[in-house]
Amino acid sequence: MSGFAAVDVIRTKRDGGVLSDAQIDWVVDAYTRGRVADEQMAALAMAILLRGMTPTEIARWTAAMIASGERLDLSGVNRPTVDKHSTGGVGDKITLPLTPLVAACGAAVPQLSGRGLGHTGGTLDKLESIPGWRAALTNDEFIAQLREVGAVICAAGDRLAPADRKLYALRDVTGTVEAIPLIASSIMSKKIAEGTGALVLDVKVGSGAFMKSLDQARELAGTMVELGAAHGVRTVALLTDMSTPLGRAVGNAVEVAEAVEVLSGGGPADVVELTVALAREMLAAAGLPDADPERALRDGRAMDAWRAMVRAQDGDPDAPPPVAPEVEIVRADADGFVSTVDAYAIGLAAWRLGAGRARKEDPVSAAAGVVLHRRPGDPVRAGDVLYELRAEAPERIAGAHAAAAGAVSISADRVAVPPLVIGRIG
């Protein structure tokens, strides 16, 4: 590959120019190999944040990220493949029931997931609260489990889009996480490299989401849907509300327990609604539009797939969840109706309890978290329990209590609860 000067690439974007295919290919490859310094890529990322990218630039940037590593070949899997990606939220345990549910309906779900950072939880952290469960699989194990079980949730290997891993860490410390071209290419490079045939995106919007405004969420969703199409992956996106936590459980083991409730045919109505909505989209994208996910929840097939998936990764699906020794109950101080439960505040409280991490290398507590007893629209009387704070260490309670103070608002009249699914793109 012919060389460029990194500073010329930076200047082009700084001045509002369009990067050529050759410039993009070179800078992504050179950065991955260590030939472009972190400070130079940081400057380019900031220029992209401020100046944006054209659809052609974003597609080429994504292709260069994919080309930095290997691309998995799932052609040997004997079912249609479809994956789902969420942009992250509070109480968002949807991947846990959704993956085995879609597998129980005939598709194969190659779900490469991540760990939590800050107030949003990570799927791998949740699953690691199951004794014995392991996140790291070889490519051969990954494909074998897809064939035999139809469902895999695991960590992405080091050879999958290594450019993204390096750039993601840099964006996190340089104030460039918010650049939509870089968010879209980060997500889609990994999903395309994993080899899935179709993809459904859950783009969240609201106080507990990365995207606070509907316009931002629509832009990100549209960009990712276009990227999927450009790379031959059937892609659709749902825009979903994240102003309120999903379900009643926010944490690790508590979210796994709630996911198992859903797979048992119960669980909170909003978690069931979103799980089924995403399952229908995934099955349609996989060419199985007549499959009935609600029936698979009722008749036990989804639970069977969950148990097989957990066992295949050395987990014990019958192990009791860890229990936090420290519990503080927060009660209502007035009669009325719950009007709001602020997702960000509850997510921050769960993080302070130990359920999340400030740095990628920090440990997380399996048992810590917040359990909600009331949600928007619910009636409440003074003295009723609003939520529980759970921690392994008593010194964590005070900070979490402060973070959640005011998270639950009570009004005299019942308020209308906004729809969970706001829109669809693709």
Per-residue pLDDT band for 403 (boundaries 50, 70, 90) equals very high
341: CATH: 3.90.1170.30
228 lies in the same domain as 304: yes
82-87 mean pLDDT? 96
Percent of the chain clearing pLDDT 70 (strictly above): 98
pLDDT digits (tens, 9 = 90+) for 319-332: 999 999 999 999 99
pLDDT given at position 138: 93
84, 115, 126, 171: which is the annotated catalytic residue?
Answer: 171
In a domain, 58, yes or no: no
Residue 202 has pLDDT above 70, yes or no: yes
- Of 288, 312, 336, which residue is a domain's last? 312
Q: How far is CA 263 from CA 201, 303, 306, in A?
A: 21, 5, 8
Per-residue pLDDT band for 117 (boundaries 50, 70, 90) equals low
21 annotated active-site: no
88-113 mean pLDDT? 96
By C-alpha distance, which of 166, 168, 198 is closest to 183? 168
Residue 76, Cβ density class (10 Å: 0-12 exposed, 13-18 middle, ≥19 buried): exposed
Residue 158 has pLDDT above 90, yes or no: no
- β strands within 90-231, DSSP E: 109-113, 151-155, 198-205
pLDDT given at position 169: 84
In a domain, 256, yes or no: yes
164 annotated active-site: yes
236 lies in the same domain as 282: yes
pLDDT given at position 178: 86
Half-sphere exposure of 105 (CA within 13 A, CB side): 30
CB 93 within 8 A of CB 249: yes
Residue 21 has pLDDT above 90, yes or no: yes
152 lies in the same domain as 204: yes
164, 202, 270, 342: which is the annotated catalytic residue?
Answer: 164
Query: What one-character DSSP code corresponds to residue 395?
Result: G
pLDDT digits (tens, 9 = 90+) for 278-307: 999 999 999 999 999 999 999 999 999 999
Q: What are the residues facing 234 on neighbouring strands? A: 198
186, 189, 207, 365: which is the annotated catalytic residue?
Answer: 186
Looking at the structure of the chain, the number of domains it has is: 3
Domain that includes residue 117, residue range: 82-312
Residue 1 has pLDDT above 70, yes or no: no
153 lies in the same domain as 295: yes
CB 309 within 8 A of CB 153: yes
Helix (H, G, I), strand (E, B) or coil at 167: helix
Q: What angle do CA 179, 185, 191 make, to 5 degrees?
A: 140
38: CATH: 1.20.970.10
Describe the crossing of helices 269-285 and 253-263 by its angle, rounded to 10 degrees: 70
In a domain, 424, yes or no: no
191 annotated active-site: no
pLDDT given at position 118: 64
Q: How far is CA 302 from CA 79, 150, 151, 178, 316, in A?
A: 17, 11, 11, 36, 17
227 lies in the same domain as 187: yes
266 lies in the same domain as 333: no
Q: How far is CA 372 from CA 27, 37, 75, 244, 361, in A?
A: 47, 46, 43, 11, 28
85, 93, 204, 234: which is the annotated catalytic residue?
Answer: 85
- Separation of alpha carbons 123 and 120, rounded Å: 10
Other CB atoms within 10 Å distance of the CB of residue 180 = 19
State pTM to two decimals: 0.94
116-144 mean pLDDT? 89
69-85 mean pLDDT? 94
Per-residue pLDDT band for 356 (boundaries 50, 70, 90) equals confident
pLDDT given at position 115: 78
107-112 mean pLDDT? 96
231 lies in the same domain as 367: no
- Of 253, 278, 312, which residue is a domain's last? 312
Residue 339, Cβ density class (10 Å: 0-12 exposed, 13-18 middle, ≥19 buried): middle
Half-sphere exposure of 404 (CA within 13 A, CB side): 31
306 lies in the same domain as 331: no
In a domain, 67, yes or no: no
198-222 mean pLDDT? 94
339 annotated active-site: no
In a domain, 72, yes or no: no
pLDDT, the chain, mean: 95
305 lies in the same domain as 187: yes
Other CB atoms within 10 Å distance of the CB of residue 331 = 13
- Of 257, 281, 312, which residue is a domain's last? 312
pLDDT digits (tens, 9 = 90+) for 159-200: 889 999 899 889 888 989 889 999 999 999 999 999 999 999
Residue 120 has pLDDT above 80, yes or no: no
Backbone φ and ψ for 210, nearest 5 degrees, come out as -70, -40
Q: What are the residues facing 331 on neighbouring strands? A: 385
Half-sphere exposure of 221 (CA within 13 A, CB side): 25
Who wins on pLDDT, 113 or 256? 256
141 lies in the same domain as 255: yes
By C-alpha distance, which of 258, 307, 317, 392 is closest to 132? 317
Who wins on pLDDT, 241 or 3? 241
334 lies in the same domain as 300: no
190, 191, 307, 352: which is the annotated catalytic residue?
Answer: 190
135 lies in the same domain as 283: yes
What torsion, rounded to 10 degrees, do the Cα atoms 205, 51, 191, 193 define? 180
Q: What sign does the dihedral 278-283-289-294 (CA atoms) show?
A: negative
Per-residue pLDDT band for 2 (boundaries 50, 70, 90) equals low
pLDDT given at position 368: 97
